[in-house]
Chain A
């Protein structure tokens, strides 16, 4: 079976840009979704407790910050890998 011809002259660059875009969309939508979900359910969540805090309050005061910090460092790791992969692909031609 014949291999597919590249769609553009810069397949490594295009792949990198697409993956970068997908990563950005994924991380931002995850965080924003988590925030809005927590805001809309905070009153209900407050009936549960966590570490002496009402759960809804805890998530808005600490839980979401932990999520955002973890997501940021995870993003950096993945994005660095994407950048390295692009550099290697471009080196190989």
Chain B
């Protein structure tokens, strides 16, 4: 007989709350637009636009604080699918997507589509292969799931350790994006911005764990989506008279092609296995937007796509959210909503890139050097755009127009000569999405360190469960801030390396753990270890995360890690013992879509046992520790 899932009712007023959040933010935009017309200074506009939403997020985090373990680690398993979709989309895309991916599309045009396609396909792959089964398992972290599945503390601790590179790299990348935006729009230094962001995301994650991550993340997503939609739609209206940027930028291709030819952009050839990805420093745009496979070959395109797709599918920060909805069906729906929102963004990014490129090339590269637009000086001071008539021909050619990859999205509203409030709005959108993603990565990392390393190593459980999680989250935020202040991180390479690590380490392991009941502890360790080792070797041979060849050698190493990990996992499982009866039962239960999560049932049994024998020491759930 099927067992109905425990009734978990979402707050019926959520729609009203977030309607109020949305209305408040729209009102703020309108208010600041009026103030700008009345002569308010740019500093006041930027500070209000960026700081008021931050206060709102903090208020939501305080409102969703909790001391309940289930709320802290899985948001009470009652998040409606659409809200989980908001946070999934914000975590998958992040500030890296809004600023860096758009910049990559600006420079690489056609060839950069591999990354966006990979994100979307990855969410589908993860949603089909992993998410429903992780929801049924109900474990709070990905390493905990693997530990429960194989009844092994070693697997759990190993997974927690190898989860560090992908999650930490993404955390660093998102924090850097948020700090870069803050430096451009607020009177703060980079170090102060990094520390402030670390404190902000640390407080958010500590106050309510995944609960506050979910509810602040939803608000941050809404702010980000509104900001992006308003600015890009306005630019679309200015340029094409139609408020549908995704459909209208195709009309600009002939103008863009002409501008590229005038500016001296000529077709390029893939340069072997050399890095195709643009760096963070201002650089010239030397590739026609529509030229297919100019900076990377078709094979490189497919490799990059697969690497990003498999990395997104197995990304711990996304999979950690697999237990927050009330049922398996809702979890699938939430993944679908997240995928839809990611797809909408990825379909919009080329429009931003085309609009920006057309405006920059028409306004700068095709006019006399003496008639450059006034806003150019402002961007020059911020190191976003650098120009100089180095060959003295009286015009700024494409080779003399150096543009910062991560500034394209922020430059667009000013270059389109829109009111300054829309520039601040775009910055607010970027910082909101970056904060949502950074908080998710921070929680994933901190929760795993507390649950899968500390609680496994310290058998006496000296620190209470939540205190351990708070300490781990605070320590992780501090470490990330210190790392960012002392190290130079390129967000694009860091994010791609993180996805490559996630694919190489976790994809084959999860595939075997969920879909092959015969997979054993040794098989899981072999798959995880082989994938991680191949990836480390690939990165070492490629010269590290910031190496020029990261774009291409890292994806190849990642896919090799996936393949070799699968082979090693299957071989080790076949060679060593067969899986235990408990493991097989767990697999069978995991595939049953009905009933309560396996972890919750174990917790209930443990609680019932403790109640039945009040004098005996509480027995931890068989699978809980």
What is the bound-complex CA distance between A21 and B133, given in angstroms?
13
Q: Are A57 and B292 in contact (CB under 8 A)?
A: yes
What is the bound-complex CA distance between A43 and B1, given in angstroms?
56
Q: Are B333 and A76 in contact (CB under 8 A)?
A: yes
Task: Tell me, rounded to whole Å, the shortest Cβ–Cβ distance linking B587 to chain A.
Answer: 10
Among B333-358, those with CB < 8 Å from A are 333, 335-336, 339-340, 343, 346-347, 350
Q: Does A40 sit within 8 A of B, measured CB to CB?
A: yes
Task: Tell me, rounded to whole Å, the shortest Cβ–Cβ distance linking B295 to chain A.
Answer: 14
Among A1-28, those with CB < 8 Å from B are 13, 16-17, 20-21, 24, 27-28
Q: Are A83 and B329 in contact (CB under 8 A)?
A: yes
Q: With a CB–CB cut-off of 8 A, which chain B residues contact A83? A: 328-329, 593-594
Q: Range of interface residues on chain A?
A: 35 or more
Q: With a CB–CB cut-off of 8 A, which chain A residues contact B113? A: 57, 60-61
Task: Tell me, rounded to whole Å, the shortest Cβ–Cβ distance linking B306 to chain A.
Answer: 9
Q: With a CB–CB cut-off of 8 A, which chain B residues contact A58? A: 250
Q: Does B290 sit within 8 A of A, measured CB to CB?
A: yes
Q: Which residue of the partner chain A has the closest CB to B336?
A: A72
Interface of B is mostly: helix
Q: Range of interface residues on chain B?
A: 35 or more
Q: Does B603 sit within 8 A of A, measured CB to CB?
A: no
Q: Are B250 and A52 in contact (CB under 8 A)?
A: yes
Q: With a CB–CB cut-off of 8 A, which chain A residues contact B293? A: 42-43
Q: Are B347 and A61 in contact (CB under 8 A)?
A: yes
What is the bound-complex CA distance between A83 and B515, given in angstroms?
17
Task: Tell me, rounded to whole Å, the shortest Cβ–Cβ distance linking A13 to chain B.
Answer: 7
What is the bound-complex CA distance between A35 and B303, given in angstroms?
12
Q: With a CB–CB cut-off of 8 A, which chain A residues contact B591? A: 13, 16-17, 20
What is the bound-complex CA distance between A83 and B217, given in angstroms?
31
- Annotate A69-82 by CB proximity to B: 1 below 8 A, 0 otherwise: 10111011001100
What is the bound-complex CA distance between A21 and B129, given in angstroms?
9
User: With A39-B298, A43-B292 in contact, is A27–B343 under 8 Å at CB?
Assistant: no
Task: Tell me, rounded to whole Å, the shortest Cβ–Cβ distance linking B448 to chain A.
Answer: 27
Q: Are A75 and B128 in contact (CB under 8 A)?
A: yes
Stretch at the interface among B9-17, B119-127, B567-575: B119-127
Q: Does B301 sit within 8 A of A, measured CB to CB?
A: yes
What is the bound-complex CA distance between A62 and B302, given in angstroms?
17
What is the bound-complex CA distance between A13 and B566, given in angstroms?
26
Q: With a CB–CB cut-off of 8 A, which chain B residues contact A20? A: 591
Q: With a CB–CB cut-off of 8 A, which chain B residues contact A80? A: 329, 332
Among B234-254, those with CB < 8 Å from A are 246-247, 250-251, 253
Task: Tell me, rounded to whole Å, the shortest Cβ–Cβ distance linking A5 to chain B.
Answer: 21
Q: Are A35 and B121 in contact (CB under 8 A)?
A: yes
Q: Are A39 and B301 in contact (CB under 8 A)?
A: yes
Interface of A is mostly: helix
Q: Which of B251, B298, B340 contacts A69 (CB 8 A)?
A: B340
Q: With a CB–CB cut-off of 8 A, which chain B residues contact A72? A: 124, 127, 335-336, 339-340
Q: How many A-B residue pairs have CB under 8 A?
A: 108
Q: Are A62 and B246 in contact (CB under 8 A)?
A: yes
Q: Are A68 and B246 in contact (CB under 8 A)?
A: no
Q: Are B305 and A35 in contact (CB under 8 A)?
A: yes
Task: Tell me, rounded to whole Å, the shortest Cβ–Cβ distance linking B15 to chain A.
Answer: 21
User: With A13-B592, A39-B302, A62-B246 in contact, is A68–B343 under 8 Å at CB?
Assistant: yes
Q: Which of A27, A57, A68 contacts B290 (CB 8 A)?
A: A57
- Which of A51, A62, A65 gathers the greatest number of chain B CB atoms within 10 Å? A65
User: With A57-B290, A62-B347, A69-B343 in contact, is A90–B1 under 8 Å at CB?
Assistant: yes
Task: Tell me, rounded to whole Å, the shortest Cβ–Cβ distance linking B20 to chain A.
Answer: 29
Q: Are B247 and A51 in contact (CB under 8 A)?
A: yes
Q: Does B110 sit within 8 A of A, measured CB to CB?
A: yes
Q: Are A76 and B332 in contact (CB under 8 A)?
A: yes
Q: Which residue of the partner chain B has the closest CB to A32?
A: B121
What is the bound-complex CA distance between A87 and B5, given in angstroms?
13
Task: Tell me, rounded to whole Å, the shortest Cβ–Cβ distance linking A62 to chain B.
Answer: 5
User: With A39-B302, A43-B293, A61-B347 in contact, is A87–B124 under 8 Å at CB?
Assistant: no
Q: Which residue of the partner chain A has the closest CB to B349?
A: A61
Q: Which of A51, A64, A71 contacts B117 (CB 8 A)?
A: A64
Q: Are B292 and A61 in contact (CB under 8 A)?
A: no
Task: Tell me, rounded to whole Å, the shortest Cβ–Cβ distance linking A6 to chain B.
Answer: 17
Q: With a CB–CB cut-off of 8 A, which chain B residues contact A65? A: 117, 120, 343, 346-347
Q: Are B336 and A68 in contact (CB under 8 A)?
A: no
Task: Tell me, rounded to whole Å, the shortest Cβ–Cβ distance linking A35 to chain B.
Answer: 7
Q: Are B124 and A68 in contact (CB under 8 A)?
A: yes
What is the bound-complex CA distance between A63 and B339, given in angstroms?
15
Q: Are A40 and B298 in contact (CB under 8 A)?
A: yes
Q: With a CB–CB cut-off of 8 A, which chain A residues contact B110? A: 42, 57, 60
Q: Are A24 and B128 in contact (CB under 8 A)?
A: yes
Q: Are A86 and B593 in contact (CB under 8 A)?
A: yes
Q: Does B2 sit within 8 A of A, measured CB to CB?
A: yes
Q: With a CB–CB cut-off of 8 A, which chain B residues contact A64? A: 117, 120
Q: With a CB–CB cut-off of 8 A, which chain A residues contact B1? A: 90-91
Q: Are B290 and A31 in contact (CB under 8 A)?
A: no
* 6 pairs, A vs B, C-beta closer than 8 Å: A28-B128, A35-B305, A65-B343, A69-B336, A72-B340, A91-B2
Known pairs A72-B336, A90-B2; list 16 more (Cβ under 8 Å). Answer: A36-B302, A39-B301, A39-B302, A42-B292, A51-B250, A52-B253, A53-B253, A65-B120, A66-B343, A72-B339, A75-B127, A76-B329, A76-B336, A83-B594, A90-B1, A91-B1
